[in-house]
Amino acid sequence: MTTVLIVDDQPLQRYGFSLLLDSVPETEVVGEAAHGGEAVRKAAELRPDVVLMDVRMPGMDGIEATRRITATGDRSRVLVLTTFDLDEYVHAALRAGASGFLLKDARPEELLAGIRAVAIGDAVIAPALTRRLLHQFAHLLPPRPGGPAKDTRLSSLTDREREILVAMGKGWNNGEIATHFVLSESTVKSHVGRVLAKIGARDRVQAVILAYDHGLAGPHAE
């Protein structure tokens, strides 16, 4: 059973999500919130597996709420729902600690699959879509003066693990990485797990963002 907190300032939207999630046996809606401040309080109180988070809300928005929820280090993971063509805050939400995002017009089965993925610590969006998202916002990220910043998390990686991180930053999935480096997919999965642990990333999305932030991927990569 995956417990879910629904956060949206539109009552009808919350009602629709609640009906969908309560219609399947593997999910349970444990609460609702109409704005970010309420979401932070209820996440701390209810400790849901997944917080289904809107971005644009009055008062504290979804980005700040996501940052506060994930900063606690608690079990709750955040899945952002957004209208991508209109919402320019997706990248900021991922930086704030969200485990992924879905469009608000996603099909019901896509939303349910996304919630399941986030609940087990996976990225909601496919690696190729992660790459596409970050490229969409890459022009907002100026090159770092003097080149990529040094980071002790990166220095802890072995040469192979660094190569895996770079490949993840390029949007490659495990199968593509395995083919490129002539490894089994199980070996790649183990490498990915160690990379995530060493850099302190909650999931693959956060690892890709770190790769972009430090010049290992994206338009400013060396």
In Å, what is the CA distance from 214 to each residue of 33, 145, 181, 200?
35, 11, 23, 15
Among 92, 86, 94, which residue's Cα sits nearest to residue 123? Answer: 94
Q: Which superfamily is assigned to 2-125 in CATH? A: Response regulator (3.40.50.2300)
* pTM for the predicted model, two decimal places: 0.67
- pLDDT, residue 134, reads 60
**Fold annotation for 142-213:** Arc Repressor Mutant, subunit A (1.10.10)
Please list the residue range(s) of the chain that carry CATH number 1.10.10.10: 142-213
Instruction: Name the stretches of the chain with pLDDT < 70.
Output: 84-91, 123-150, 218-222
Among 118, 105, 84, 142, which residue's Cα sits nearest to residue 202? Answer: 118
- pLDDT, residue 83, reads 72
- pLDDT, residue 126, reads 47
- pLDDT, residue 202, reads 75
- pLDDT, residue 133, reads 63
- pLDDT, residue 130, reads 59
Please list the residue range(s) of the chain that carry CATH number 3.40.50.2300: 2-125
